[in-house]
Amino acid sequence: MAFNIFERVISMPQKTALYIRVSTQEQAQEGYSIEAQTSRLTSYCKAKDWPIVEIYTDPGFSGSNTERPALQRLFADIEAGRIDCVLVYKLDRLSRSQKDTLYIIEDVFLSHNVAFVSMQENFDTSTPFGRAMIGILSVFAQLEREQIRERMNMGRLERAKDGFFHGGGFRPFGYDYEDGQLHINQMEALIVRDVYSMFLEHTPINKIEEILLEKYGRTIRHTAIRSILSTPIYIGLISWEGHTYPGRHEAIIDTESYTKAQELLNDRARIAASKPFPFRSTTLLGGLLFCGNCGAAYFAKGNYSGHGSNKTYRAYYYCYSRGKTTKRKIIDPTCINPAYPVKELDKRILAEIERLVSDDSYFNSVVSLPGSQKSADTERQKYAIMQRMDEIDLQISRVIDLYQLGTISMDDIGARTTKLQNEKDALQKTLASMAPKHEKKLSAAEARTLLDEYFFIMENGETDEKKALLHSLIKKIIVKPTVGEFDIIWNF
CA dihedral 259, 263, 268, 269 (to 10 degrees): 100
pTM (two decimals):
0.39
**Residue among 379, 352, 377 nearest 366 (CA):** 352
Q: Which residues pair with residue 21 across a beta bridge?
A: 58
Q: Within the chain, which residues score under 70 in pLDDT?
A: 1-12, 24-32, 63-64, 98-99, 131-132, 134-153, 167-170, 268-281, 304-306, 308-309, 311, 368-383, 400-411, 413-414, 431-440
Amino acid letter at 387? Answer: Q
Q: At 313, phi and psi to the nearest 5?
A: -110, 130
The pLDDT tens digits of the residues spanning 274-298 come to 554 444 457 889 889 999 888 889 9
Give the C-alpha separation, 315 to 341, whole Å.
6
What do you get for the CA distance between the two ends of the chain, in Å? 12
**Do strands 289-291 and 474-479 pair parallel, antiparallel, or not at all (unpaired)?**
parallel
Does the active-site annotation cover 274? no
Q: Which residues pair with residue 244 across a beta bridge?
A: 239
Catalytic annotation, pick one of 23, 33, 62, 257: 23
Give the C-alpha separation, 244 to 228, whole Å.
16
